Structure 1
Amino acid sequence: MASSAVEPKKKSNVKYTSTCAILASMASMILGYDMGVLSGAALYIKKDLKISDVQLEIFMGVLNLYSVLGSFAAGRTSDWIGRRYAVVLTAAIFFAGALLMAFATSYAMLMAGQFVAGIGVGYAIMIPPVYTAEISPASARGLLSSLPEVFTHVGMLLGYLSNYAFSGLPLYLGWRVMLGINALPSVLLAIMVLAMPESPRWLVLNGRLRDARVVLDKITDTPQEAAASLADIKAAAGIADDVDGDVVAVPKSSHDVGNEWQVWRELVLSPTPAMRRILLAALGIHFFQQATGIDSFVLYSPRIFMGAGVTDDHRLLGITCGLGATRTLVTLVATFLLDRVGRRPLLLCSTGGMIFSLAGLGAGLTVIGRHKDTTQIPWANGLAIASTVTHNTFYCIGLGSITWVYTSEIFPLRVRALGCAVGVAFNRAISGLVAMTFLSMSKAITIGGSFFLYAGIAVLAWVFFFTSLPETRGRTLEEMGKLFGMTDICVAAEAQGSTAKGNNAVVEMRTTTTV
């Protein structure tokens, strides 16, 4: 007599998907190191190469503008060669950038190395969250998709520790060691990533159904969930449910030149109302993540603490290390709350705390700026430092982690890579603008005024998040469209239209060797 009992959940899939997510997130750690180490290395680069404040802020901020190019290249590359090999390419780019900057003998050569590193940043920001979201079961996607952000902060902390450890070296050597040492984990990442499986959604999108079934069996909780996930992914890719085989022909995807224009039309040029809401949500959360000034803390934290009365270089780097450790621990806590508390509550709480912290920092720095002897106003110094710590804590518990999780899960499969690339490009452009204007803006409206401005932007962010971002906790990637008003009829019509195009190319089945 056949048993109707539901098979118990597997335990091995959690370990397997966690391992894959950790390996992919190592690219984010290299990215974090690249960003964190610059804050301290900049003090010595300016002295050694004798560059101006304007040259320095261009060097610091242009990394983010270069990463815009990297994010678009990453979107196309990951659709073309797969998410896994895109991570390997990311490691190779970081390796080249680290060596170029380590051996730089002039400002021009340093900028060339920054260009290469910036391309790597674009890849590292986009690929790990997309890959992790696509291999994670819905029950743990918030936790696993936030790992890239955790590893980014781990990398930043390592960058700060590197600043502290090598600050005693001769001036011409210290900053070069700080920047060049990042080449070592890049090599390790390129080797380790080869043990990762490819994203099952990318495999289906390229017609490799057998390979996708193998991966889904390993990452889902039950065989029934694996079968249901495969059916949903096939529908999203425009493959009829009754089509089966090891390899099948599928409707042209976004990396086919003839159809890439259609994907741009669906996402940007003439989107449906539901797709417009999805794109607005993604661009909005990316904009406010950066426009509230986080890169001012990441890149210029020594300057902020100097404004708060800390003048010794060694002490500055030590306080920065403590701030990096705080960010790392809080981000780790946030990963365990995403699937329990939800995205919206954390995001609103995070942004609300940032508003008060930014206002407190602005007030403290304004008072300090009006006194020549800062020892007479210890309360203002304490307020500025405490506000910096609380701001970073609130940022990491919500906005810092959720931005990447949220945008990697809300786009439909056909436009996911391009949608994430557009979001990352916008994020990096705003980040570059913030980084390249902070020093000049601080001179124009004072450093305290700069943080009052960021506080005002954070108020707008809270209103936007409250009105425009639905909760995504516990939803599969294929269910996201309904949250933004995409009806079942629209989804079915889109899938049928895609299937019809694929059938014109003749669907054929054949066996293939599993990679």
Structure 2
Amino acid sequence: MASGGAEVSDLAAEAPLLVAKPGEPPRRNTFAFICATLASMTTILMGYNLALMSGAELFIREDLGLADEQVEVLSGSMNVFMLVSILTAGWVADHAGRRATLVLANALLMAGALAMSLGGSYAALMAARFVTSVGTGFAAVVAPVYAVEISPASSRGVLSSLPEIFINAGILLSYVANYAFAGLPLHLGWRVMFAVGVVPPVFLAAGVLAMPESPRWLAMRGRDADARTVLARTSGTAAEADLRLEEITQAVAAQGEVTGGVWRQLLVRPSPTVRRILTNVLSLHFFQQASGIDVIVLYSPLVFKQAGMASNAAVLAATVAVGVVKTCFILVATLFSDRVGRRPLLLSSAAGIAVALASLALTLCVGAPSSARAAACVASALAYVAAFSVGLGPLAPSYGNEIMPLRLRAQGASLGTAVNRVTCGVLSMTFISVAGGITMAGCFFLYAGAMVAAWVFVYVRLPETRGRSLEDMDVLFAK
């Protein structure tokens, strides 16, 4: 790897659009920030619905008389159901547009939240979970793609991290809702927790409709004038907008010369460059979930109880602390990914996760359950989510989206997110059963080993992408 100063100089030479002309200082990309924020806010409800079950299941189990196996399936099924929309999101986004797909996601999220709050049986809750999952899958794929495509290269690290920030904000809000409504009557509390998620999608859909379409999608549809209008508002200077449009149109033309459909280029007969890129994308998504993050999000109450924490109130308060730390530390990645680069943050994150998981495992297998053991368990969990949030959490999807070629980006993102959710679903739907066989400590030692492998993978396979234009990634991976 080159030194920091030399690397920046090289990037400036290779990507002239990052350098303003003399006497024409770049303005702030406020409009790009607003657009990326509106698109990314859809993922708040993804985080909210994924994590809400961690506390709600304590009350649903008792209210509806569900068995452990039913609770395990209800909690983890979202990751399986999401595959329906994840695998079609790329096709829908390529044909209907990024913006229309996000509006559809919000409509489904609203309907799913309403159905969950009214559900009176296990079957009704599973059906509602399916509707919510389809909306969540669309949001999970398309929001990061839009954020990457609307962003100029100089601030893409910040803006492409926004979906993960809002996912974490949703997780935190779900923990707060668990804690705030836990004191309501048994049959009412968990319903209010889900009902809170009904209203936000209405306002988010209206906001999404007010923002422009992705300039890269517009260029793919031959609408260069519309793409130029959007680029003019999301670039620092008019010259930068022209350069970005030229790069995009050249990339569209080059990909138009490639024979075969998108799936053929991705899976059937990919070029060596595409194969290298796709391997990196899928591996990053796998390792993100192999860290066991959704196990912590969904089952932290069970983990804390096994460590010696007795009351539900204390357990739910501890999960709120996990959500606060997870949300705060993701700002580190947002602030530094454009300064120090993606690669150093990913390496630091994988190493920190491995150490924190090993520590968490040790607290669960040493000594008898006690308040001191519970405190050590919570401390290890906080260290774990902090390490996850500074790198692997936000950067796995954003790195994958920025390196994927334009024509393949939406459906490549679908594949990556599918691997992410399958891995997550396998871990979350089997955690209780596997922990019964190898203990919870054994599970966390296993996840720690996966993070050691992740560190090696990042060190060997992933080049730095900081400051490069999206259209320049083929050159980087063709080396």
Question: Within 1, Cα distance between the matches of 2:414 and 2:23?
Answer: 39
Aligned position for 1:445: 438
| Residue 408 (structure 1) aligned with residue 413 (structure 2) | no
Measured after TM superposition, the shift of residue 383 of structure 1 is 2.7
Aligned position for 1:110: 125
Aligned pairs for 1:114-133 (under 5 A) are: 114-133=129-148
SS in structure 1 opposite 2:337? helix
Uncovered stretches (5+) of structure 1, i.e. residues with no partner: 240-249, 254-258, 487-515
Measured after TM superposition, the shift of residue 484 of structure 1 is 1.2
Question: Within 1, Cα distance between the matches of 2:121 and 2:349?
Answer: 42
SS in structure 2 opposite 1:320? helix
Measured after TM superposition, the shift of residue 194 of structure 1 is 1.3
Question: Within 2, Cα distance between the matches of 1:5 and 1:47?
Answer: 66
Q: Work out which of the residue numbers 457, 478, 481 in structure 1 matches 2:474.
A: 481
Measured after TM superposition, the shift of residue 36 of structure 1 is 2.1
Measured after TM superposition, the shift of residue 283 of structure 1 is 0.4
Query: How many residues are paired up?
Result: 460
SS in structure 2 opposite 1:474? coil
**Normalised by the size of structure 1, how large is the TM-score?**
0.87
Deviations 1:56-97 (A, max 9, x none): 111111100111111122111111111111111110010111
Measured after TM superposition, the shift of residue 251 of structure 1 is 5.0
Question: Within 2, Cα distance between the matches of 1:125 and 1:412?
Answer: 19
Question: Within 1, Cα distance between the matches of 2:376 and 2:321?
Answer: 17
Measured after TM superposition, the shift of residue 222 of structure 1 is 1.5
Q: Does the CA contact (< 8 Å) of 2:27 and 2:237 recur in 1?
A: no
Question: Within 2, Cα distance between the matches of 1:5 and 1:46?
Answer: 63
Q: Work out which of the residue numbers 185, 193, 196 in structure 2 matches 1:170.
A: 185
What letter is aligned with 1:391? Y
Question: Within 1, Cα distance between the matches of 2:261 and 2:323?
Answer: 43
Higher Cα Rg, which structure:
1
Aligned pairs for 1:147-296 (under 5 A) are: 147-238=162-253, 262-296=261-295
Measured after TM superposition, the shift of residue 5 of structure 1 is 5.8
Deviations 1:27-65 (A, max 9, x none): 011111111211110111111111111111111111001
Q: Does the CA contact (< 8 Å) of 1:68 and 1:426 recur in 2?
A: no
What letter is aligned with 1:303? L
Aligned pairs for 1:344-493 (under 5 A) are: 344-368=343-367, 371=368, 374-375=369-370, 379-485=372-478
SS in structure 2 opposite 1:168? coil
Q: Does the CA contact (< 8 Å) of 2:89 and 2:411 recur in 1?
A: no
Q: Does the CA contact (< 8 Å) of 1:362 and 1:449 recur in 2?
A: yes
Are the structure 2 counterparts of residues 6 and 168 from structure 1 closer, same or farther at C-alpha, using a change threshold of 3 Å?
A: same
Q: Does the CA contact (< 8 Å) of 2:318 and 2:378 recur in 1?
A: no
Question: Within 1, Cα distance between the matches of 2:235 and 2:202?
Answer: 31
Question: Within 2, Cα distance between the matches of 1:180 and 1:124?
Answer: 19
Measured after TM superposition, the shift of residue 252 of structure 1 is 9.8
What letter is aligned with 1:291? A
What letter is aligned with 2:38? L
Measured after TM superposition, the shift of residue 379 of structure 1 is 4.8
Sequence identity, in percent? 46
Aligned position for 2:315: 316
Deviations 1:281-311 (A, max 9, x none): 0000000000111011111111111112112
SS in structure 2 opposite 1:340? coil
Deviations 1:221-268 (A, max 9, x none): 1211111111111111117xxxxxxxxxx9599xxxxx8x62111111
Deviations 1:316-358 (A, max 9, x none): 1111111101111111222001101111100000100111111
Question: Within 2, Cα distance between the matches of 1:291 and 1:152?
Answer: 18
Q: Does the CA contact (< 8 Å) of 1:69 and 1:425 recur in 2?
A: no
Question: Within 1, Cα distance between the matches of 2:266 and 2:152?
Answer: 26
| Residue 140 (structure 1) aligned with residue 133 (structure 2) | no
What letter is aligned with 1:341? V
Q: Does the CA contact (< 8 Å) of 2:48 and 2:173 recur in 1?
A: yes
Q: State the Cα RMSD in Å.
A: 1.6
Q: Work out which of the residue numbers 75, 89, 92 in structure 2 matches 1:74.
A: 89
Question: Within 2, Cα distance between the matches of 1:106 and 1:252?
Answer: 54
Question: Within 2, Cα distance between the matches of 1:345 and 1:224?
Answer: 32
Q: Does the CA contact (< 8 Å) of 1:153 and 1:324 recur in 2?
A: yes
Are the structure 2 counterparts of residues 118 and 426 from structure 1 closer, same or farther at C-alpha, using a change threshold of 3 Å?
A: same
Aligned position for 1:509: none
Question: Within 1, Cα distance between the matches of 2:222 and 2:187?
Answer: 54
Q: Does the CA contact (< 8 Å) of 1:350 and 1:398 recur in 2?
A: yes
Are the structure 2 counterparts of residues 5 and 231 from structure 1 closer, same or farther at C-alpha, using a change threshold of 3 Å?
A: closer
Aligned position for 1:339: 338
Question: Within 2, Cα distance between the matches of 1:349 and 1:5?
Answer: 36
